């Protein structure tokens, strides 16, 4: 656990050091849970978005995109249920004046018990060596069993309180577990209250009568309220989808784990409108399609799992998360929900206009059902960064820090380097840059030793480095170095483009999804 935390800290500082992610307002000591993307981060982020966007809109002739505004009519959030129910339970410590999410305090307590079990197992594994039977130990060791039973009892009580929305019981659990405030160390807790996560602001001058509006907490509602606009102007026939990428805002009480939980973040959402009764079949299809999209990046199939929801939101009739193994455990990256006709019906009720689809094949009108796929860009970014980072021990004893980014997502695809800064090598290298740059993000680098330059490119995940030397001037060949294997080969300049393209091409990656 400590090792994983350590690894995570290294990833966060690497992200800053190499221009991927900076704390927002850094020179003012940052703004909690808000981050800026640097020169490499923005390229990686754009590539993730492009991969998603093209997998939706290019690969499906029945999916189109939109870009709706962040500000929306406030009644939309009443209709969607966000005004009344988009809440987290919070609790304050009277001594430190710090505010916490009550559910997170209890989840941390559960994690502590899990930690204790893992520690017992690790200790025993060391003690027994090769003869250690982990499964048997977990099933029979009295101390492990005691912890397990404590965990199960607490988990059950907690799940019940959450499901009943029982704030008093949440507080009682905190008291009974003797959970203390990490700052003051005391148990002087207030009552638990509901806290709405939406940011509110004023639109228009007060003289005109300002209207309270919200910063959208999800992009999905922009799709629902444009359902008829898109369906009619695009002459879309069900089944069809609308995709959108955009910013969302949530006043998260507990903001931690870097870009995993942010107050300003980006979502990639797609609402797929289907005939009532066919939604579960489509849910199954989208579940598979989205998992395939993740796995095609080659970050390791074993790092993904589904988490099917047992308890469903009142508007859903099926829901699952795609979880990824982060340095802090398996966590949700994407949600896939069968949302019935809840949202469209609610908007119909609140706006007073008919929102229906006339199905020419059935000869009848209905409110379409919806399958939603919703993924956070920043969380996806974190999965890519975390799974790519390696401090690799080399044969000569040195350690290189390398990002094994999927080549299609790498911010820089190829770096071109003259071996020395003279004899016409920089000019030749520039010539190569000038041909490659129209197809690939290309960097020119002539500073420091060639070894240092390779390391710099490894650290930002550049899949290819090209070195121009004196032989290049004679026979038009260069050294091509591969990031992961560090192998070098002599290739003709005229072959470079096709070699690089084979690995970094987004369209080739998209073809693997078919
Ligand atoms: N329209 C459905 C919806 O918004 P959600 O599970 O609340 O569902 C979808 O969010 C995805 O958005 C999550 O799976 C996650 O990737 C991302 N996300 C949600 N809250 C986030 C936050 N505070 N910071 C970063 N990403 C977040």
SS (H, E, C) 158-173: HHHHHHCCCHHHHHHH
Helices 167-176 & 142-163, crossing angle to 10 degrees?
A: 160
Which residue has the least CA distance to atom 14 on ligand 1?
334
Q: How far away, in angstroms, is 460 Cα from ligand 1 center?
A: 27
Q: How far away, in angstroms, is 376 Cα from ligand 1 center?
A: 6
Q: CA separation (Å) from 367 to 100, 108, 220, 286?
A: 41, 42, 17, 20
Name the region of 265 (left: φ>0; alpha: ψ -120 to 50; beta: rest): beta
Which residue has the least CA distance to atom 20 on ligand 1?
261
* pLDDT score for 1: 61
Rounded Cα–Cα distance for residues 189 and 180 (Å): 9
Q: What is the mean pLDDT of each run of 10 residues along the chain (514 residues)?
A: 83 98 96 96 98 98 98 97 93 94 93 93 92 93 95 94 91 96 95 95 79 96 98 97 98 87 97 98 98 97 94 90 94 97 98 97 97 98 97 94 98 98 97 97 97 97 98 98 97 97 97 96
The number of CA neighbours under 13 Å toward the Cβ of 303 is 18
- Count CB neighbours of 93 within 10 A: 21
Contacts of 194 (CB under 8 A, 6+ apart): 87, 88, 89, 90, 167
Which residue carries 């409110």 as its tokens?
367
- The answer to whether 382 and 258 are in contact (CB under 8 A) is yes
* pLDDT score for 163: 83
Nearest atom in ligand 1 to 252's CA: 23
Which residue carries 């690089």 as its tokens?
500
- The answer to whether 494 and 432 are in contact (CB under 8 A) is no
Whether residue 101 has its Cβ less than 6 Å from ligand 1: no
The DSSP line for 401-417 is EEE---GGG-S-SEEEE
Q: CA separation (Å) from 81 to 60, 76, 196, 346, 377?
A: 31, 9, 11, 9, 24
Whether residue 252 has its Cβ less than 6 Å from ligand 1: yes
Structure tokens at 260: 């995993």
Which residue has the least CA distance to atom 10 on ligand 1?
374
* pLDDT score for 281: 98
Cross-strand pairs, 266: 247
The DSSP line for 420-446 is SS-TTHHHHHHHHHHHHTTTS-EEE--
Q: How far away, in angstroms, is 374 Cα from ligand 1 center?
A: 7
Which residue, among 348, 384, 380, has the nearest Cα to 366 in the 3D structure?
A: 348
* pLDDT score for 173: 97
Rounded Cα–Cα distance for residues 463 and 423 (Å): 27
DSSP class of residue 70? S
Whether residue 250 has its Cβ less than 6 Å from ligand 1: yes
* pLDDT score for 320: 97
Which residue carries 């099926």 as its tokens?
318
Nearest atom in ligand 1 to 255's CA: 23
Whether residue 378 has its Cβ less than 6 Å from ligand 1: yes
Cross-strand pairs, 392: 400
- The answer to whether 59 and 507 are in contact (CB under 8 A) is no
Structure tokens at 425: 């090598």
Which residue has the least CA distance to atom 16 on ligand 1?
376
- The answer to whether 425 and 64 are in contact (CB under 8 A) is no
Which residue, among 338, 309, 311, 335, has the nearest Cα to 323 in the 3D structure?
A: 335
- The answer to whether 102 and 192 are in contact (CB under 8 A) is yes
DSSP class of residue 503? H
**Cα 465 → chain centroid:** 29
Q: How far away, in angstroms, is 442 Cα from ligand 1 center?
A: 33
User: 403 exposed, middle or buried (CB, 10 Å; 0-12, 13-18, 19+)?
Assistant: buried
* pLDDT score for 208: 67
């Amino acid at each position: 656990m400590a090792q994983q935390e350590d690894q995570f800290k290294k990833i966060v500082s690497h992200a800053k050091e190499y221009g991927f992610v900076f704390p927002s307002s850094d020179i003012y000591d940052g703004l909690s849970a808000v981050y800026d993307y640097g020169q490499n981060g923005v390229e990686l982020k754009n590539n993730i978005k492009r991969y998603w966007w093209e997998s939706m809109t290019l690969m499906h002739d029945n999916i189109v995109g939109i870009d709706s505004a962040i500000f929306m009519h406030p009644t939309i959030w009443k209709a969607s249920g966000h005004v009344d129910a988009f809440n987290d339970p919070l609790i304050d410590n009277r001594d430190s004046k710090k505010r916490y999410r009550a559910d997170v305090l209890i989840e941390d307590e559960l994690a502590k018990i899990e930690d204790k079990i893992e520690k017992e197992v690790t200790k025993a594994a060391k003690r027994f060596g090769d003869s250690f039977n982990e499964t048997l130990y977990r099933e029979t060791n009295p101390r492990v069993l005691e912890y397990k039973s404590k965990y199960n009892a607490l988990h059950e009580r907690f799940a019940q309180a959450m499901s009943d929305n029982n704030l008093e019981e949440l507080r009682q659990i905190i008291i009974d577990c003797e959970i203390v405030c990490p700052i003051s160390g005391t148990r002087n807790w207030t009552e638990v209250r509901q806290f709405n996560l939406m940011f509110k602001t004023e639109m228009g001058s007060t003289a005109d009568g300002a209207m309270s509006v919200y910063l959208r907490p999800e992009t999905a509602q922009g799709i629902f309220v444009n359902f008829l606009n898109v369906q009619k102007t695009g002459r879309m026939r069900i089944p069809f989808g609308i995709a959108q990428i955009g910013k969302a805002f949530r006043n998260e009480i507990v903001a931690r784990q870097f870009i995993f939980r942010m107050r300003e973040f980006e979502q990639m959402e797609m609402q797929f409108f289907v005939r009532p009764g066919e939604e579960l079949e489509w849910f199954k299809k989208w579940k598979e399609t989205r998992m395939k999209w993740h796995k095609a990046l080659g970050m390791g199939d074993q790092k993904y799992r589904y988490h099917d929801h047992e308890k469903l939101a009142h508007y859903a009739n099926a829901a699952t998360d795609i979880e990824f193994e982060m340095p802090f455990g398996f966590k949700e990256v994407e949600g896939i929900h069968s949302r019935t006709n809840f949202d469209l019906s609610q908007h119909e009720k609140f706006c007073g206009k008919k929102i229906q689809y006339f199905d020419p094949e059935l000869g009848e009108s209905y409110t379409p059902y919806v399958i939603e796929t919703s993924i956070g860009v920043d969380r996806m970014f974190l999965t890519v960064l975390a799974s790519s980072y390696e401090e690799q021990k080399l044969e000569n004893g040195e350690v290189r820090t390398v990002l094994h980014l999927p080549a299609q997502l790498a911010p820089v695809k190829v770096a071109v380097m003259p071996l020395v800064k003279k004899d016409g090598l920089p000019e030749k290298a520039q010539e190569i840059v000038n041909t490659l740059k129209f197809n690939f993000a290309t960097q020119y680098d002539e500073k420091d030793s060639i070894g240092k330059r390779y390391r710099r490119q490894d650290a930002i995940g550049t899949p290819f480095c090209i070195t121009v030397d004196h032989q290049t001037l004679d026979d038009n060949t260069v050294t091509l170095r591969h990031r992961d294997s560090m192998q070098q080969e002599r290739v003709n300049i005229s072959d470079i483009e096709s070699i690089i393209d084979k690995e970094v091409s987004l369209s080739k990656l998209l073809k693997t999804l078919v």
